[in-house]
Structure 1
Amino acid sequence: MNDICYKKVEAFAGKRQVLVFVHSRNETAKTVRAIRDTPCERHIGSFPKGRQCKSGWGNLPTRTVIVKGTAIYNPEKGAWNELSPLDVMQMLGRAGRPRYDTYGEGIILTRHSEQQYYLSVMNEQLPIESRFVSKLADQLNAEIVLGTVQNAREACTWLGYTYLYIHMLQNLVLYGLMADAIERDKTLEE
């Protein structure tokens, strides 16, 4: 990925700003060294004078965004996970900010096996689902502590305001509610 990242950065060097996202401090340092040292290793010129590599933290506007690698390590699961579509879209959203530029370009460097997944994400063919359900009990407990929910009826009303509830109604099958809806309809017909 360092070679591909270098080629992409080299294509824009001296022309426009490029922001490269990596997923650890260690990988940031490796990427900067690779971009800096590759011209010397190939005995070619270096990047234009006055250009500096800076660390990818902060709210920097840029014309081009490169997401270098899409797998991140999840220590809780002890496994590598792909970036969520929301994370990818947020990173790519740095390219071509309306106030600063009229055009933006996003480049995702990933494994070949994940290429179709990210193409689908970029073409909005994969639904972005709420993770709220995994923290529903914590959120409801917080509302109870705040005093905004004091009984089961208020809990149901509160849940009805959430995006999760609205999205569940629109996607019964996805949330496993279709069988419940069919059973309820059969009961009503009888």
Structure 2
Amino acid sequence: MQRYEDGILTLPASVIAIGAFDGVHQGHQAVIKRAVNRSKALKVPSVVYTFDPPPRFHFQSDQVLTPIDQKVHLIAELGVDYAVIIHFDELYAKRPSIDFISNLKKLNPSEIIVGNDFRFGRNREGDIKLLAKHFLVDIIPPVCCSEGTRISSTRIRQLLQQGAIDQSNDLLGWSLQKEYV
């Protein structure tokens, strides 16, 4: 997998999975795997478009589950061709949603894969409907654990705060080390 910082990549065609992907948990993996499968079917490269640090860390000081190098490693293991890592800071957070769409157009996406709660741009003004005005968008429904609860980075952080590492690992689909918490 090739890694690009701050969007310095143009492609003639691609399938893009977009998200913070903090934790690269089973829900994130479903989004990324769909992008990889669709890219193979369309015979174009797969791209993961992600952020460092995750927006929730920037806005809410949430604990980061996967430092960028670990996140990129986990994404690469899913068979992705390219990772585009955007530095998320105050300046980036103020960019309008149309700027985000313009950046994506450089990758000429045949399809874009996102989770059902995807938002983007200044004040989260962009949503899936806006994205779908410009691109073919495939929305992945929430992935739930065996108990029927939605898997999310927030839930994993809560479990880690409670010391429930084994339960966190189940939701992640890979293992955090015991000394992580």
Same fold (TM over 0.5): no
Q: Which has the higher strand share?
A: 2
The two structures have a TM-score, normalised by structure 2, of: 0.31
Larger Rg: 1
The two structures have a TM-score, normalised by structure 1, of: 0.30
Q: Which has the higher helix share?
A: 1
